[in-house]
A = this chain, B = another copy of it.
Amino acid sequence: MTQPTEPVRRGRGRRPADEVRREVLQAAGELLLAEGMAGFTIEKVAALAGASRVTLHKWWPSKGALALDGYFNVVGPTLAFPDTGDLAADLTAQLRAFVHLMSHTQAGRVMPELIGQGQTDPELMAAFRERYSAPRRALAVEILERARRRGELREDLDLEVIVDQLWGACYHRLLIPDQPLTDEFAEALVRNLLNGVGRP
């Protein structure tokens, strides 16, 4: 991600580049959640943040990249990974937060739209993966790796698969809504996977 280094001018004076960046990300996230990708443009974000379009085009290679960074800027705090040393509790808390975000906020309308559009828009999918899904996946694997070192997980696992069986299962219900995204679902995901569903 390009880091802003120079101050940027605007009407009400000069702001440090990192302040401009923060305001742009805030504006981008809010615009995206309010209007979805259909109403999202770099021009509107520039106007809302009082920044120049040239600056935004310099910092973000595409509309999708700005949208994804804006999205994560807004939802990131909600999606923090707890790491209390109790894997089942931590996973359940994180998945409940994710499920709540998807089922009770505008993020649950924007996320399917981003992934949906990404299926036929390779630049958007690249931005999605680079700026959202790959780092989130890496973070989840890191948490799982720590739990494995604590002895909470089997040694012989591919931890990437666990990501698909927890968060991936949620994306499945989000994108193909045959069944609801609920707290009970989040809890069952963790219980099923940690304990196994086979008869002991």
| Number of chain copies forming the complex | 2
- In the complex the two chains form, is A193's CB within 8 Å of B195's CB? no
Say how far A169's CB is from chain B's closest CB, in angstroms.
4
Is A50 an interface residue, CB under 8 A from the partner? no
**Which bracket fits the contact residues of A?**
35 or more
A117 cross-chain contacts in B, Cβ below 8 A: 116, 119-120
Is A4 an interface residue, CB under 8 A from the partner? no
A residues in contact (CB < 8 Å) with B: 87-88, 112-113, 115-120, 125, 128-129, 133-134, 137, 151-154, 157-158, 160-162, 164-165, 167-173, 175-179, 184-185, 188-189, 192-200
Q: Offer 25 A-B interface pairs, CB within 8 angstroms, sorted by A.
A: A113-B120, A115-B175, A117-B119, A119-B175, A128-B176, A129-B177, A133-B176, A151-B199, A154-B198, A157-B188, A157-B192, A158-B184, A160-B179, A161-B192, A162-B192, A162-B197, A164-B169, A164-B172, A164-B185, A164-B189, A165-B189, A171-B172, A192-B193, A196-B197, A196-B198
